[in-house]
């Protein structure tokens, strides 16, 4: 019977490395963690990361935590530390157009499969954050709040977040009117104002309700402007 590292199988004082130690004791190493960044954004890509950390807790990762619990500066530092010690790591970038075509959940699942498939060495077990991911080709378990309780998932969350933030910073230079460098494509009051003013860019997810509404309103304003221009020209010619 496949081993499932439930919370009951992990000592309460095991810390962030308990899941991986339990799996290694049963010969299921190496253990990969998978997580994504950008699922809730309405602009920019979804980034999935898969990470295999070395066996045994590394002192260089003492500050490892869920990416959402770290400041931007701390994430950058921990990101470099993860990459310096990881046995393997992979990122998969899923653009907005693919998210619109597949839907964000299917795109997320697809990205996780791609990331795990590209890992070398091949993992003996995979831990995912929150929900099950079928079709990984290896035993896997969804861990509730995995980015807070499993080191490899926390590492994947940091790698995904930092990679995506850097992409959004680059997109800001192409589209400064949206201020991507500030909100990273998530819905904020400032982002909503920019969408209402400029309409969506090619980096926005057109299948999202707020983006689709902004696009409709933008097209409506343009059509009204064209109509007014035509009426004005016709009046002048009369």
* Nearest CA-CA partner of 61 in 87, 27, 40: 87
The pTM (predicted TM-score) of the whole model is 0.88
Structure tokens, 118: 């590209």
39/58 Cα distance (integer angstroms)? 30
Looking at residue 173, what is its pLDDT? 96
Q: Which domains does the chain have, with CATH numbers?
A: 7-174 (3.30.420.10), 176-237 (no CATH)
- Backbone phi, psi, residue 127, to 5°: -110, 130
Asked if 33 and 153 touch (Cβ cutoff 8 Å), the reply is: yes
- Number of alpha carbons in the 13 Å side-chain half-sphere of residue 116: 29
**13 to each of 3, 9, 17, how far by Cα in Å?**
21, 12, 10
Give just the sign of the alpha carbon dihedral 52, 55, 56, 61: negative
Residue that is written with structure tokens 């902004």 in the block: 214
Bin 199: left if φ > 0, else alpha if -120 < ψ < 50, else beta. left
- Over residues 89-117, the pLDDT tens digits come to 999 999 999 999 999 999 999 999 999 99
- Over residues 32-48, the pLDDT tens digits come to 999 999 999 999 999 99
């Amino acid at each position: 019977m496949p081993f499932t590292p439930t919370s009951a199988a992990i000592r309460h004082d095991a810390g962030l490395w308990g899941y991986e130690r339990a799996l290694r004791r049963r010969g299921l190493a190496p253990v990969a963690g998978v997580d994504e960044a950008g699922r809730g954004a309405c602009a920019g890509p979804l980034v999935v990361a898969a990470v295999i950390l070395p066996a045994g807790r590394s002192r260089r990762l003492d500050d490892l935590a869920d990416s959402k619990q770290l400041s931007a500066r701390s994430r950058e530092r921990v990101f470099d530390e993860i990459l310096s010690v990881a046995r393997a790591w992979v990122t998969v970038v899923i653009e907005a157009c693919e998210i619109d075509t597949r839907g964000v959940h299917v795109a997320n699942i697809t990205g996780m499969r791609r990331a795990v498939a590209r890992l070398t060495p091949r993992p003996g077990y995979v831990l995912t954050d929150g929900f099950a991911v079928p079709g990984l080709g290896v035993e896997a378990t969804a861990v509730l709040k995995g980015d807070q309780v499993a080191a490899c998932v926390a590492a994947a969350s940091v790698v995904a977040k930092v990679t995506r933030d850097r992409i959004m910073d680059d997109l800001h230079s192409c589209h400064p009117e949206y201020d991507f460098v500030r909100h990273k494509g998530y819905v904020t009051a400032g982002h909503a104002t920019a969408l209402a003013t400029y309409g969506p860019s090619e980096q926005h997810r057109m299948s999202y309700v707020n983006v689709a509404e902004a696009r409709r309103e933008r097209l409506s304003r343009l059509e009204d402007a064209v109509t007014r221009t035509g009426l004005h020209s016709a009046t002048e010619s009369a």
